[in-house]
Amino acid sequence: MGVGILKFLFITVLILWLIRILLRLVFPIVLKNLFGKMQQQAEQGAQPRQAPRKPEGSISIDYVPPQPKKGNADKLGDFVDYEELK
């Protein structure tokens, strides 16, 4: 029974030691790639985007707000004066 526990502890320590060595080798490479990608994205975002050049005097409308519908008085019906009854 004591041999099983020692074998388990030895294998556990060996696996943790291997993970530690691998992380020391792999983690800096992963971080370098990650920060490199972030830097490229930041540089691309910092560059001003140039709008396509339009000839002088041309007009472009991007948005037209919706106009409220105006009712025709003839179609609305008859108007009845309101009288309060007491």
Average pLDDT of the residues in 55-63: 83
Is pLDDT above 80 for 75? no
pLDDT of residue 18: 96
φ and ψ of 24, to 5 deg: -65, -30
Is pLDDT above 70 for 50? no
Confidence band of 61 (pLDDT split at 50, 70, 90):
confident
How many angstroms separate the CA atoms of 37 and 34, rounded?
Answer: 5
Average pLDDT of the residues in 24-43: 92
Q: Are 53 and 60 in contact (CB under 8 A)?
A: no
Confidence band of 45 (pLDDT split at 50, 70, 90):
confident
Helix intervals (H) in the chain: 2-46, 73-76
